[in-house]
Amino acid sequence: MPKDHGIGASSKRREDVRFLTGEGNYTDDINIAGQTYVHFLRSDVAHGTITNIDSSAAEAMDGVLRVFTAKDFEAVGGIPCGWQVTDKFGEPMQEPKHPVLAEGKVRYVGDPIAAVVAETPELARDAAEAIVVDIDELPAVVDMKAALTDGATKVHDDLTSNLCYDWGFVEENKAAVDDAIANAAHVTTLELVNNRLVANPMEPRVAIGDYSRGTDDYTLYTTSQNPHVIRLLMGAFVLGIPEHKLRVVAPDVGGGFGTKIFHYAEEAFVTFAAKAVNRPVKWTSSRSEAFISDAHGRDHVTKIELALDKDNNFTALRCETYANMGAYLSTFAPSVPTWLHGTLLAGNYTTPLVYTNVKAVFTNTVPVDAYRGAGRPEATFQLERVVDKAARELGVDPTELRRQNFIKPDQFPYDTPVAVTYDTGNYHATLDKALEMSDYANFDKRVAESKSRGKLRGLGVAHFIEACGIAPSNLVGQLGARAGLYESATVRVNATGSISVLTGSHSHGQGHETTFPQVIAEMIGIDESQIDIVHGDTSKTPMGMGTYGSRSIAVGGSAMVRAAEKVINKAKKIAAHLMEASEADIELADGQFTVAGTDKSVAWGDVTLAAYVPHNYPLEDIEPGLEETAFYDPSNFTYPSGAYFCEVEVDPETGEVDVLGFTAADDFGTVINPMIVEGQVHGGVAQGIGQALLENCSYDDNGQLLSGSYMDYAMPRASDLPSFDVDHSCQTPCTHNPLGVKGCGEAGAIGSPPALVNGVIDALHRGGYPVEHINMPLSPSRVWEAIQSMK
């Protein structure tokens, strides 16, 4: 019988009561007395020199407080990058200044040139239209390979070229990899694109700056996944405001998917401008603005080669990737194609030699940064595509080729050739589970049934491994992170026994307010309703690093467990005193402290009351109160994995792909709330299918965004998706965190694109069209063209 509370129970999401009844408190719901509004005048050309800005007409308009341009920010720093990658020659990456407002040049369509602060949003927009900007247009740098040719126009004049870095990993293995590929019995090669995406959280970004002249305190309300990180980056590197004078609040946030991790210029602007005009300043992004100002995702161009011996064992893997950085380095952009990508290229396999080369390139496009999965989807996609192609070339079943090359269950912990050590896993188990769930054995019958209707049916297989629970601080520090990646929690027990957990993790849809209390409830044995989560406000919670990289439960949850353990240890001391027993004999279960071997007991609430009303209390030994804080720094990443099967039907006349079924057999280690985990997989798979089938962020040669609205940028809808078949019963708990959890937020988006593409390719082959590859999204026209190319 399933549990109805605590770890493993599908407790209903308590936060949904307010989200589904319009009671949420999103940043745009916050309005401060005297608030003003900013409108950003953004570049409509991709590249050019600003020769003049005449804002006199705008400034003269009634209701306009002030017009800002780059000259107002001369004393202010640039938007910092949070990760420095060292290239294969040992040199630091090229890192251009990223000004709050464009300095001298515009570098992408959407680059903010000027900002108008006015009494109303409409006035601010009207005034922005009255600003005259003269720009001498320059050639736009759009194509990555062209950007690296001699004589290419430079995005940044002060850099030597458009190359941010040329990274090799593992550089010492390069010669051995080259040699293995040169001497392999079989080499499968594939060139592919991981398409650029727009994250499109349901809530666009919003920022409100507030400043008190009386106290010299600043407050920034912002749609962020990590308010402390914003406070650190913006306070220390941009505006020079010390932490104790700067509060950052990220209240309810309507989806992030990575794009709300980063520190954006708009946040620094409203904070700076609030003091300059001595009024609160609010910015609310329109959806159109989001397309050209939220960091984009993915955008890799890759060549991958897989070498196999005569027995079909993988012997080496070599990858060459061009990774688009866009016009400036967004907060974590350099880490995505390198450490979040190269370290995953062993996948689920025993490939002994791996080498990847990544060239990160500046272009006149919106900055590119982490998007659900961040580097790991790109690694998984290329690896699972090339493995699938190899199986086809060798005439072996794609599941069997994978099984043969899997790391075996008894090989864990497993040292990969790409620096990471997988602690646990059982890839055979998830594969077997997916085979069963997808009724793989009867697939041929379904192919025949489709054929009778003139349709081509295919089944795509993909496995994935991801590195989550980001990350050990000392390790990422060596790799170039300019921050630690621990997490914090305070467990604050109130006098009557109820508990507030202050966490540095941030919930923007994940359900922390439900799952975190389940853990505490399990540990203490009190009802979940007695526990609340506080997050998203630097004035309330200890310094925390926020939520991304499927890290909340693995790192933030671990910090919470550590703090709760401290609380329980202290509570046991109090209970021992109350029952006149030895502390060593005290046991806690179901909210009752008992003395082992006796019938003595005191309730949780009696102990907590004693802590705050310490009349009968060991004051000589311990302090009153019951509140503990822990900072948890993980000793390793966690490694969720899974087997994803996607069954599709292709209409050969139109190229339309119908996703008929999707099977996800995941190993997330311990699962706190199965319903929420299932929902996370559903959302991730929907996003992955969106990338594979629909979403296409496309620029023309002039750097104009062709898919700048939902008229041309196709988001997945319920009608595009099948009913997912999701399982997470294969559990190999993480060995190095207290809950055994691995994280589940990104898995769906990582494993599903190769499953879908492999399925379509399978359908085409079975239908007599031996297409090798189609770049995502597999739109009807692209699939149709691939079919035509085989006729």
Partner 1 sequence: MYNFEFVKPATVDEAVAALQAEDAQPLSGGQTLIPTMKQRLNAPSTLVSLIGIDSLKGVSEAGGVLTIGAGTTHATVAAEAGAYPALAALAGGIGDPAVRNRGTIGGSLANNDPAACYPAAALGSGATVVTNTREIAIDDYFQGMFTTALEEGEIITAVKFPIPEKANYQKFEQPASRFALVGVFVAKTADGVRVAVTGASEEGVFRWTEAEAALSANFAPGAIEGLSASADGLIGDLHGTPAYRASLIKTLTKRAVTAA
Task: Name the residues that contact partner 1, by CB under 8 A.
Answer: 129, 288, 653-656, 693-694, 696, 698, 706-707, 710-715, 777, 779-781, 784-785
Q: Which of 528, 447, 371, 524 is nearest to 10 (CA)?
A: 528
Q: Which of 654, 666, 645, 634 is nearest to 731 (CA)?
A: 666
Nearer CB in complex with partner 1: 129/449:
129
Smallest gap from residue 713 Cβ to partner 1 (A): 6
Nearer CB in complex with partner 1: 444/653:
653
- Bond preceding residue 777 cis, omega within 30 of 0: yes
Structure tokens at 375: 């580097």
Nearer CB in complex with partner 1: 84/288:
288
Q: Which of 581, 708, 579, 727 is nearest to 665 (CA)?
A: 727
Nearer CB in complex with partner 1: 185/790:
790
CA angle 641, 645, 649 (to 5 degrees): 155
Nearer CB in complex with partner 1: 89/710:
710
Smallest gap from residue 656 Cβ to partner 1 (A): 8
User: What share of residues in the chain are helix, strand, coil (percent, to 5)?
Assistant: 30, 25, 45
User: What is the sign of the dihedral through the CA atoms of 734, 740, 744 and 745?
Assistant: negative
Smallest gap from residue 760 Cβ to partner 1 (A): 15
Smallest gap from residue 52 Cβ to partner 1 (A): 23
Q: What pairs with residue 415 in β-bridges?
A: 421
What is the distance between the alpha carbons of residues 722 and 752, in angstroms, rounded to a whole number?
13
What is the distance between the alpha carbons of residues 115 and 101, in angstroms, rounded to a whole number?
8
Structure tokens at 667: 């190993």
Smallest gap from residue 282 Cβ to partner 1 (A): 19
**Long-range contacts of residues 470-477, Cβ cutoff 8 Å, at least 24 apart:** 470/548, 470/549, 470/550, 470/551, 470/555, 470/637, 471/549, 471/551, 471/634, 471/637, 472/633, 472/634, 472/635, 472/636, 472/637, 473/633, 474/633, 476/339
Smallest gap from residue 382 Cβ to partner 1 (A): 24
Nearer CB in complex with partner 1: 139/780:
780
Cβ 643 vs Cβ 463: under 8 Å: yes
> Could you give the strand order of the β-sheet that contains 586-589, starting from the edge strand earlier in sequence?
586-589, 592-595, 601-603
What is the distance between the alpha carbons of residues 570 and 255, in angstroms, rounded to a whole number?
38
Smallest gap from residue 31 Cβ to partner 1 (A): 21
Smallest gap from residue 784 Cβ to partner 1 (A): 6
What is the distance between the alpha carbons of residues 785 and 774, in angstroms, rounded to a whole number?
9
Residue owning tokens 């526990």: 531
Structure tokens at 569: 């240890």
Smallest gap from residue 470 Cβ to partner 1 (A): 33
Nearer CB in complex with partner 1: 219/696:
696
Nearer CB in complex with partner 1: 589/715:
715
Contacts of 474 (CB under 8 A, 6+ apart): 633
Nearer CB in complex with partner 1: 365/696:
696
Nearer CB in complex with partner 1: 63/618:
63
Cβ 519 vs Cβ 557: under 8 Å: yes
Smallest gap from residue 653 Cβ to partner 1 (A): 5
Nearer CB in complex with partner 1: 439/656:
656
- Bond preceding residue 170 cis, omega within 30 of 0: yes
Smallest gap from residue 201 Cβ to partner 1 (A): 18
